[in-house]
Amino acid sequence: MAVSWSALRQELSCPVCRDIFTDPVLLPCSHSLCNVCIVEWWRTKGVRQCPVCKTVSSSRPPPRNLVLKNLCEAFQLEVDSGLMCSLHTEKFKLYCEDHRLPVCVVCRYSREHAGHRLTPVDEAAQVHRNAFLASLAPLREKAKLFRDMKVNCEQLHKVIRSQTQETERTIREEFQVLREFLQTEEEVRVAALKEEGGRKRNMMKGKIAGLTREINALESTIKDLEGGLADDDLCFLKKVSTLATEAQRPLPDDPQQVTGALIDVAKYLGNMRWNVWCKMKEIVSYTPVILNPNTAHQDLHIDQCLTNVRSGSTQTLPSIPERIEQHRCVLGFDGYSSGSHSWDVEVGDNHVWALGVVATDAQRMGDIVSGLWMLRFCNGKFTAFSPSRPVSVLQLKDRPQRIRVQLDLNRGKLVFSNQDCDTVIHTFTHIFTGRLFPYFNTWNNVPLRILPRKLSLMVTPL
């Protein structure tokens, strides 16, 4: 706590060194001096007398003046704290508006502050305090904005980690399906190759065994004839009948080359990747539009394949610019700025849904309605909405189960049709500008399902 001073600086100053007392001692004459100053004074003078009144002291060391010592230290602390003028040792009671500094009552008469605007400290403090209080509101608001953004970023950090893990798991599952398919295809082809190889090897073994028998028979006949021819005349003549029988034995037919003996390598390796790829279409699907979960309202739930959306319990999701909070909807991942595009949606028994397209500008500004073209079904009533026209009520005899959305940006048309009976429900005609994204809205737990396209592969000759 600040001390209120009534004593002058000189009363707290040593009469010898003229400075604030340092370790003051009290002489018998009641005068106080710095301990160092009085010791040096006595040593120089050679007599223990008071420098002020010349009273001689006893030989005993003078006692410490603790009260004065504490007072001087407190005074020095206040001077050092900046609460007092270091030039005049006076408290600051005025504030110089020109120099924006506190001054003492002596400073106001100095040349440095001549003609300056001086006000009492309490008045100046109140004026500046009010100014700073006024600036606190936007600072607090800005600090809250940053704190909220920090919390949102922390949530995003957790969601990013969760998305990474979940997406990695899905990727690995999808590739595991492909690996299992390829593994099965490999095993089937290798098994067929081994079966053909075994069958043809067995065939060749039978062929080799037959040829070996014929060779042995022929070589036996040749050996008998050559043996008879090598005998003398008498022995030869005795064997003529036997040798004649051997020589006249019918010769076997000439051996024939084996047709198709080798493995049909081309059957296994020719266009192998193409053939496997063609067969792979049985386990893969292509959907012309996939959903972007980063745009989904927090009440919407999207399946792992990003093709089904339904309404459900509210999820805790971080706020990001892409997310649509005004409508319970989700957008397609790819946007279109030219060309012709179409996608089929199975609405089934969902009794509250809307399909259409929305402009990027409307999404960015947060005003979806300003750039939305949609067909809406709600509790048995069909309506068509566009930014430039009032809501139109459509009269339909049948409730469609599958809706086709056709967007032709070159011709400026958006057509909704009933795929069950191949009839047009409604057509918007507009010169679309900018980028458009598919729009899906539902308030029901029956999912809207984007249907896959049938895949076909063909080779076009050059």
Answer for the pair 447, 355: CB distance below 8 angstroms, yes or no.
no
* 119 alpha carbon, distance to own chain's centre: 58
> Model confidence over 350-359: pLDDT tens digits?
999 999 999 9
Residue 370 has pLDDT above 70, yes or no: yes
Residue 399 to residues 165, 381, 392, 420, 445, Cα–Cα distance (Å): 41, 10, 17, 10, 18
State the average pLDDT over residues 272-298: 91
Per-residue confidence (pLDDT) for residue 1, from 0 to 100: 40
Residue 394 to residues 224, 289, 352, 382, 399, Cα–Cα distance (Å): 107, 26, 15, 5, 12
Residue 20 has pLDDT above 60, yes or no: yes
State the average pLDDT over residues 1-17: 64
Answer for the pair 41, 51: CB distance below 8 angstroms, yes or no.
yes
pLDDT band at 6 (very low <50, low <70, confident <90, very high): very low
More confident residue, 56 or 415: 415
Answer for the pair 229, 236: CB distance below 8 angstroms, yes or no.
yes
Q: In what order do the strands lie in the sheet with 101-103?
A: 101-103, 94-96, 118-120
pLDDT band at 372 (very low <50, low <70, confident <90, very high): very high
Per-residue confidence (pLDDT) for residue 8, from 0 to 100: 53
* CA 24/CA 37 separation, integer angstroms: 9
Per-residue confidence (pLDDT) for residue 287, from 0 to 100: 94
Per-residue confidence (pLDDT) for residue 56, from 0 to 100: 86
Amino acid at 436: L
Per-residue confidence (pLDDT) for residue 88, from 0 to 100: 63
State the average pLDDT over residues 12-39: 87
Residue 104 has pLDDT above 80, yes or no: no
> Model confidence over 423-436: pLDDT tens digits?
999 999 999 988 99
Lowest mean pLDDT among 184-188, 196-200, 370-374, 458-462: 458-462
Residue 102 to residues 77, 99, 111, 129, 272, Cα–Cα distance (Å): 18, 9, 16, 15, 92
pLDDT band at 3 (very low <50, low <70, confident <90, very high): very low
Give percent helix, percent strand, percent coil of the chain, each to the nearest 5: 40, 20, 40
Per-residue confidence (pLDDT) for residue 13, from 0 to 100: 85
Per-residue confidence (pLDDT) for residue 80, from 0 to 100: 67
Per-residue confidence (pLDDT) for residue 96, from 0 to 100: 81
> Model confidence over 391-411: pLDDT tens digits?
889 988 888 999 999 999 999
* CA 427/CA 415 separation, integer angstroms: 4
Per-residue confidence (pLDDT) for residue 2, from 0 to 100: 44
Lowest mean pLDDT among 214-223, 365-374, 400-409: 365-374
Full DSSP string of 242-284: HHHHHHTSPPPPPPPPPTT-S--HHHHHTTHHHHHHHHHTTT-
In 3D space, the residue among 401, 402, 404 whose CA is nearest the CA of residue 414 turns out to be 404
> Model confidence over 70-102: pLDDT tens digits?
888 877 777 766 666 666 666 767 778 777 777
> Model confidence over 322-338: pLDDT tens digits?
898 888 999 999 999 99
Cβ neighbours, 10 Å, residue 314: 9
In 3D space, the residue among 297, 293, 289 whose CA is nearest the CA of residue 403 turns out to be 289
pTM check: above 0.85: no
Per-residue confidence (pLDDT) for residue 117, from 0 to 100: 75
Per-residue confidence (pLDDT) for residue 108, from 0 to 100: 65
Residue 417 has pLDDT above 50, yes or no: yes
* CA 119/CA 96 separation, integer angstroms: 7
pLDDT band at 200 (very low <50, low <70, confident <90, very high): very high
Residue 313 has pLDDT above 60, yes or no: yes
Lowest mean pLDDT among 36-45, 283-292, 298-307, 375-384: 36-45
Residue 295, C-beta contacts closer than 8 angstroms, at least 6 positions apart: 322, 323, 324, 330, 331, 363
Percent of the chain exceeding pLDDT 90 equals 44
> Model confidence over 115-167: pLDDT tens digits?
777 788 777 777 778 788 888 889 899 999 999 989 989 989 999 999 999 99
How wide is the angle at C-alpha 178 spanned by C-alphas 172 and 180, nearest 5°? Answer: 100
Per-residue confidence (pLDDT) for residue 5, from 0 to 100: 47
- Tell me the average pLDDT of the chain: 87
Per-residue confidence (pLDDT) for residue 209, from 0 to 100: 94
* 283 alpha carbon, distance to own chain's centre: 30
Residue 319 has pLDDT above 50, yes or no: yes
Per-residue confidence (pLDDT) for residue 83, from 0 to 100: 65
Per-residue confidence (pLDDT) for residue 4, from 0 to 100: 41
pLDDT band at 169 (very low <50, low <70, confident <90, very high): very high
Per-residue confidence (pLDDT) for residue 81, from 0 to 100: 63
